[in-house]
Amino acid sequence: MKRRHLMTVICLSLALVFLFGFHAAKASAAKYSWRFALEEIEGSMQDAFAKKFKEVAEQKSNGDIQVDIYPYGQLGTSSQITELLQNGAVEFAFQSPGHLGSYIPEVQIFSVHYLFPSNEEVIKKVLKESAALYDTLGHCYEAKDFRLLSIIPEGWQIWTTNKEIRKPDDFEGFKMRVMTSPLLVEAYKAYGASPTPMPYSEIYSALQLKMIDGQVNPYFAIEEMKFYEVTKYMIKADQLMFICTFVSNNEFYKNLPDDIKKIVDEASAAATDFIFSYQDKLNEERKGKILKAKPSMVHYELTPEERAAFQEKAMVVRDKYVEIGGPQAREILDSLVKEIEKVQKEIGS
Ligand code: 6CS
């Protein structure tokens, strides 16, 4: 094991011993004491979901359940949280598909640009009802010891850059930070960019040091992580909704008594419903906050014609998904495309 990696493991283990000792002492009154790890900081979308989940689970169990929330920074990067969840060191976590692709290749369906339409009503209905996602993709989670409990939209991913991007050619030589799933590299290569995968916590300084020329995240994250301080443009291209998965350790979930499992499912459904209506509000609020804090920030929405040029380039990434997205990729892609078309017809969009 490399020295740097060994030090990371030792530091993380010490932090865990400290946190879990504290957690055990606090939890003595509750029958079920659970840890919920976030990939985002306090005040974020994931934090809002976790607070609602905690409130409903604790209230419905009359105090038998206690949920402790660990915001980003306490338990490591997204990939480190994946390992903690997989070995049962935490019971619940958010797992961004953008980071989970090396564990569950099929989850990279959420990294295929322009697969979902711009109509948010369609996206929400598909995310709530999709058999391709909850059944087929859900089984892929189970094969890796995870239980997929819910899928939530966190907002459109906005290109936050130091160069104006209006057409694919503008991405020539552009170093774009992406999350660590391999398909995201393909997504930006398709536009001609130089994708640079790195953890969330490293983006700000990478922008400041000009190691990257831009990053991509929803407004709420751009505001709370202060990415706008070190960029000039926010560009909305509707290429991808940030979609996140709420997950538990599968053995842990399967071994819960039925009444407790029911509470988990109900708390998850309540938190999901809450986020479905809160998402737009938080993002709009944060967008306003950014533009107020930095009036020189340029906000631009691509026209339908400009968007079409990116859409065309993105089509090859569907084939790439089938190639690197694991054995279920073809089935998930084909079923999801049909489900989206069906919902579009139902809604009349
Ligand atoms: O860009 C990222 O890596 C992160 N962005 C958000 C909004 N949530 C978690 C994820 O790790």
**Quick check: CB of 217 below 6 Å from ligand 1?**
yes
Q: What number of CA atoms fall less than 13 Å from residue 237's CA on the CB side?
A: 27
- Tell me if 179 CB under 6 Å of ligand 1: yes
Do 48 and 146 lie in one domain? The reply is yes
246 and 222 share one domain: no
Residues 116 and 214 placed together within one structural domain of the fold = no
Do residues 59 and 145 share a domain?
yes
Cα of 96 vs centre of ligand 1, distance in Å, is: 7
Say if 24 falls within a structural domain. Answer: no
Q: Identify whether residues 66 and 189 lie together within a single domain.
A: no
Give the number of the atom of ligand 1 that is nearest the alpha carbon of residue 220. 7
Question: Do 246 and 136 belong together in one domain?
Answer: yes
- Work out which ligand 1 atom sits closest to the CA atom of 179: 3
Enclosing domain of residue 183: 158-240+297-347
Distances (CA, A) of 304 to 138, 167, 237, 263, 301: 34, 12, 9, 44, 9
CA–CA dist 203, 205 (Å, integer): 6
Ligand 1 atom closest to residue 215's alpha carbon, by position in its atom list? 1
Residues 52 and 191 in one domain: no
CB of 47 closer than 6 A to ligand 1? no
Q: Is 343 close to ligand 1, i.e. is its CB under 6 Å away?
A: no
Q: In a mutational test of the pocket of ligand 1, which residue from 41, 158, 217 has the highest number of ligand atoms less than 8 Å from its CB?
A: 217
* Domain membership flag for residue 11: no
Task: State the residue for tokens 């709009």.
Answer: 284
Query: Which DSSP string corresponds to 328-340?
Result: THHHHHHHHHHHH
Q: Ligand 1: distance of its center to the CA of 242 in Å?
A: 9
Whether residue 51 is found in the same domain as residue 124 = yes
Q: In the prediction, which pLDDT does 29 show? A: 81
176 domain residue, yes or no: yes
pLDDT by 10-residue block (mean), the chain, 349 residues: 49 56 63 97 98 98 97 94 95 97 97 96 95 97 97 98 98 97 97 97 98 98 98 98 98 98 98 97 98 98 98 98 98 97 93
By alpha-carbon position, which residue is closest to atom 1 of ligand 1? Answer: 200
Q: Are residues 69 and 148 in the same domain?
A: yes
Sign of the torsion angle spanned by Cα atoms 44, 20, 180, 322: negative
∠ CA(110), CA(113), CA(116), 5° rounding? 70
67 CB near ligand 1 (under 6 Å) = no
Mutate to test the pocket of ligand 1, among 72, 77, 78 (most ligand atoms within 8 A of CB): 78
State in Å: Cα 217 to ligand 1 middle.
Answer: 7
The helix or strand, by DSSP H or E, that contains position 33, with its residue range, turns out to be strand 32-37
Pair (36, 177) in one structural domain = no
Structural domains in the chain (count): 2
Closest to 76 measured CA to CA, from 155, 141, 10: 10
The residue from 260, 283, 306 where one domain ends is 283
Shortest-distance atom of ligand 1 to CA 200: 3
Considering the domain boundaries, does residue 312 fall inside one?
yes
The closest residue, in CA terms, to atom 3 on ligand 1 is 200
Residues 261 and 314 both lie in one domain: no
- Residues 62 and 60: their CA atoms lie apart, in Å, by 6
CATH of the domain at 60: 3.40.190.170
Q: Is 53 in the pocket of ligand 1 (CB under 6 A)?
A: no
pLDDT at 20: 61
